[in-house]
Each structure stands twice: as structure tokens, then as C-alpha cells.
């Protein structure tokens, strides 16, 4: 039975606290801490994500105005912006990075049966990166260009959900293709990547690990046709070829056969040339798979518009990474709650309702009853209305 706890407290109860404390202990996060623990820091930063706070002062003012409700929401001590700033500065960001992986492991099985538009037994992942611009004078450690700073968020998305599986935060100068050196391919999985990740030596490593990739072929790629498979012009398949690379370097980097598919999109009147090491799926399935890669682009747009990862509460590398990882934790936590409570509204609607009722004392699920999701339409970007978990 509901005991009158706040909605924020009910949300935080879905956290695996034991696992969180294990992450804290691993990095001595509460060493010499008297009252403001890592858990309190996480609660307050999650509160900032859920209620769209813009600065440390904004957080402090909101919590001060609601101080009589903090204890019953799980926040056991008063909060000043200097205390929170020090915590973001000094508490190891890896605490929250590892806790995010704990939440991801909980969330992924919940979404394993979600439809991605292609009926396959394989796991399907989309890999891409997004750049977050920073001010060079405030973030000199993230130098990108002569007068500009930036960081990159390299993300591998499980398209069943979609749930981020792998995240790597780097400076803006790191080329996307280098992430393939860090990524450990899962045998039998399909990785959807764009042209920026084409490095045939690295792609051959994916092939050697018994995984598959689908990407777009570069126009200057040198190859010879080994065999032509039947085409299906009615469905847009103009050619389906088995090829061998003939470039001086590329033939050494990838000495095995590849598959090149020419697909014509009648709706947008565009020609696409797909490159893959998968020879078993029909060519139209390969085209549909690459179309599903758009899910990672929508994920980036969604988190930039709905989470606080473009403006930061601290200027150190540790503070920036801590804020990003706590934002990811918040995103995955909401995805878990949405599944467990069988909430039909989109994730966008979920956050809108939470943001205005976070310290109400009604049951969490009741806040979503009799709510028409059409009442919460994001008019700034209609594309993101399709993003539902």
C-alpha cells in the first residue's frame, strides 16, 4: 500500500542500492565524507536531470524551497551549491559509469522482444558518436580546434529499446574509427555503422570475431566482382554482388570476400551501396537493417533535448563525465520503471509528467493513469515523438 512517499522517492526505490554501494566502495567514493555521500550526490544530480535544472544555483534554490520534503525523498542532508560542486569535482566519475552498466544489464532483457522492423534472431547494434560543444576558456582540457573545445560521446545502441550498451567519452579530436579498437565484438551480432568507421583492417577484426557489420560503401573503393547474385529491381535491389578488394592496402587489410548491394530508395529517390560481410540475409533485409541505424541518431537528439548534457554544473573533466554518466543512469532507470509499471506513455511524456509532480505524494503509476500522450506533444521536433520505449 502507498505510504505517502514522494514520487521522487518512489523512482529512487527502483535503484539497486546494493550494487550502487559496491561501485562506491570500489573507488572509495565516501572516503572522509561526513554527511553528503555519493548516494546523496546521485539523488540530487538525478533530480536535476528529471526537473530540467540549469545550474548549481538553480538546484540549490529549488531544494531550499522544498527542504521540508527532502528527508522523505531520500535526501538526508541539506545541499549547498559549493558542496555539490566539490562532490562533482572530486568523486570519481567511474562510480557512476559502472553503476550505469549495472542498470543497463537490468534494462536490456526487458526490451529484448521489442520490434526493430526486421525479424531477426541476432542482436542488432548501431554505433555512432555525437559532439558536445564546450567553451575553450572554461574547458581547456577538451581542446578540439584552435578556438573551440568539445567532447565526443561514442555510443553503441541496442536497437531493441533502444538501450545504450557501450559509451565512451573522449575529446573532440578522437576519430570515430578508433573506437573500433576499444569495442569488443559479440559473435553473431550485427553492427550498423556509417562510412566514418570504414577501416578495413578493423572491419576484418570484426569478421574474425564472427560478428557482422553493415555500412555504406565509399565511392572510391577499389574492388572486383567475383559473383553476381539475382537482383530484384521491383523491390529496389539493383545488384547484389560478392566482391574482393583490389586496392594496394585494402586487399591486404581485408583479404576475404565482401558483399556489395546496390539499393534504390524509391520514396526518396536515393541510391545506396551497402557493404557487409553477411552473405545469408536477403539483400532487402540488409537495406532495412541499415535504415534501423537511424535509432542511434534519434537517441542522441533525444538525450540532448531532454537531459542536461549540453550545459554542465562543473568545468573539470571529472565533473563533466560524472554529469553525463548520471544522465545516462537516469535515462536507463526511467526505461526500467516504464517497463516494470507497464506505462504506455512515451519516455518524453514520462519525463514531462515527472518534472511537474516529482514531490507529490500520490502513487507513481497513478500519475500516468487517464493521461492521453497526445496532450504532451513536443512541437520542437516531431521526429522525436516517434521515439518510444
pLDDT at residue 114, rounded to an integer: 84
In 48-196, beta strands by DSSP E: 124-134, 143-145, 148-158, 163-171, 190-192
46: Cα separation from own chain's centroid: 17
What pTM did the predictor assign?
A: 0.89
* Kind and range of the H or E run holding 239: strand 237-245
- Asked whether residue 59 carries a pLDDT value surpassing 80, the answer given is yes
Question: 97-101, 144-148, 246-250, 280-284 — which is least confidently predicted?
Answer: 144-148
Question: 187-201, 320-334, 344-358 — which is least confidently predicted?
Answer: 344-358
pLDDT at residue 6, rounded to an integer: 87
Average pLDDT, the chain: 89
- Residue 36: phi and psi, rounded to 5, are -85, 90
Choice between 34 and 172, residue whose per-residue pLDDT is larger: 172
Question: 57-66, 123-132, 201-210 — which is least confidently predicted?
Answer: 57-66
- Asked whether residue 240 carries a pLDDT value surpassing 80, the answer given is yes
Choice between 61 and 76, residue whose per-residue pLDDT is larger: 61
pLDDT at residue 376, rounded to an integer: 43
Confidence of residue 389 (pLDDT cuts 50, 70, 90): very low
Choice between 77 and 121, residue whose per-residue pLDDT is larger: 121
Compute the CA torsion angle 71, 77, 83, 89 (nearest 10 deg): -70
d(CA 73, CA 88): 21
Model confidence pLDDT, tens digit, residues 178-223: 999 999 999 999 999 999 999 999 999 999 999 999 999 998 999 9
Q: Is the peptide bond before 340 cis (omega within 30 degrees of 0)?
A: no
- Asked whether residue 382 carries a pLDDT value surpassing 60, the answer given is no
Confidence of residue 76 (pLDDT cuts 50, 70, 90): low
- Asked whether residue 71 carries a pLDDT value surpassing 90, the answer given is no
In contact, 275 and 224? CB cutoff 8 Å:
no
Mean pLDDT of 329-346: 91
270: burial class by Cβ within 10 Å (0-12, 13-18, 19+)? exposed
Count of positions (residues) in the chain: 389
- Residue 366: phi and psi, rounded to 5, are -65, -25
pLDDT at residue 384, rounded to an integer: 42
List b or e across 108-137, with b for residues whose CB sees 16 or more CB atoms inside 10 angstroms: bebbeeeebebeeeebbbbbbbbebebebe
Choice between 276 and 35, residue whose per-residue pLDDT is larger: 276
Query: Where are the chain's structural domains?
Result: 7-101+313-386, 194-292
Neighbours of 72 (CB within 10 A): 15
d(CA 310, CA 299): 14
- Asked whether residue 122 carries a pLDDT value surpassing 60, the answer given is yes
DSSP string, 165-205: EEEEEEETTS-GGGGGGT--PPTT-EEE--GGG--HHHHHH
Residue % of the chain over a pLDDT of 70: 93
pLDDT at residue 3, rounded to an integer: 57
Which cell numbers hold the place of 354?
Answer: 515527472
d(CA 211, CA 189): 5
pLDDT at residue 268, rounded to an integer: 87
Confidence of residue 379 (pLDDT cuts 50, 70, 90): very low
Mean pLDDT of 127-136: 94
- Asked whether residue 369 carries a pLDDT value surpassing 70, the answer given is yes
- Asked whether residue 373 carries a pLDDT value surpassing 80, the answer given is no
Mean pLDDT of 70-89: 82
Amino acid at each position: 500500500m502507498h505510504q505517502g512517499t514522494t514520487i521522487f522517492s518512489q523512482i529512487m526505490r527502483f535503484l539497486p542500492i546494493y550494487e550502487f554501494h559496491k561501485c562506491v566502495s570500489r573507488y572509495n567514493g565516501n572516503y572522509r565524507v561526513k554527511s553528503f555521500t555519493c548516494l546523496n550526490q546521485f539523488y540530487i544530480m538525478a533530480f536535476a536531470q528529471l526537473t530540467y535544472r540549469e545550474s548549481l544555483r538553480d538546484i540549490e534554490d529549488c531544494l531550499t524551497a522544498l527542504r521540508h520534503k527532502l528527508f522523505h525523498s531520500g535526501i538526508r542532508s541539506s545541499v549547498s551549491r559549493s558542496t555539490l560542486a566539490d562532490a562533482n569535482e572530486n568523486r570519481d566519475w567511474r562510480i557512476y559509469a559502472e553503476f550505469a552498466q549495472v542498470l543497463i544489464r537490468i534494462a536490456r532483457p526487458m526490451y529484448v522482444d521489442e520490434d526493430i522492423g526486421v525479424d531477426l534472431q541476432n542482436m542488432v547494434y548501431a554505433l555512432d558518436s555525437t559532439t558536445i560543444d564546450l567553451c575553450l576558456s572554461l574547458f581547456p582540457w577538451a581542446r578540439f580546434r584552435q578556438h573551440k573545445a568539445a567532447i565526443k560521446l561514442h555510443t553503441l545502441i541496442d536497437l531493441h529499446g533502444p538501450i545504450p550498451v557501450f559509451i565512451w567519452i573522449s575529446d573532440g579530436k578522437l576519430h570515430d574509427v578508433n573506437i573500433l579498437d576499444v569495442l569488443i565484438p559479440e559473435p553473431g551480432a550485427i553492427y550498423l555503422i556509417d562510412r566514418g568507421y570504414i577501416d578495413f583492417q578493423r572491419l576484418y577484426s570484426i569478421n574474425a570475431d564472427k560478428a557482422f557489420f553493415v555500412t555504406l560503401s565509399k565511392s572510391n573503393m577499389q574492388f572486383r566482382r567475383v559473383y553476381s547474385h539475382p537482383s530484384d529491381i521491383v523491390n529496389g535491389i539493383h545488384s547484389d554482388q560478392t566482391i574482393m578488394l583490389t586496392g594496394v592496402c585494402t586487399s591486404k587489410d581485408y583479404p576475404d570476400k565482401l558483399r556489395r548491394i546496390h539499393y534504390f530508395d524509391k520514396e526518396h529517390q536515393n541510391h545506396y551501396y551497402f557493404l557487409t560481410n553477411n552473405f545469408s540475409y536477403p539483400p532487402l533485409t540488409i537495406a532495412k537493417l541499415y535504415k534501423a541505424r537511424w535509432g542511434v541518431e534519434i537517441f542522441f537528439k533525444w538525450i540532448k533535448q531532454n537531459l542536461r548534457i549540453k550545459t554542465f554544473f562543473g568545468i573539470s573533466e571529472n565533473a563533466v563525465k560524472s554529469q553525463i554518466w548520471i544522465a545516462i543512469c537516469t535515462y536507463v532507470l526511467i526505461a526500467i520503471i516504464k517497463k516494470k509499471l507497464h506505462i504506455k506513455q512515451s519516455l518524453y511524456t514520462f519525463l514531462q509528467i515527472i518534472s511537474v509532480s516529482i514531490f507529490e505524494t500520490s502513487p507513481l503509476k497513478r500519475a500516468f493513469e487517464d493521461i492521453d500522450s497526445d496532450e504532451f506533444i513536443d512541437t520542437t521536433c516531431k521526429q522525436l515523438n516517434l521515439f518510444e520505449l
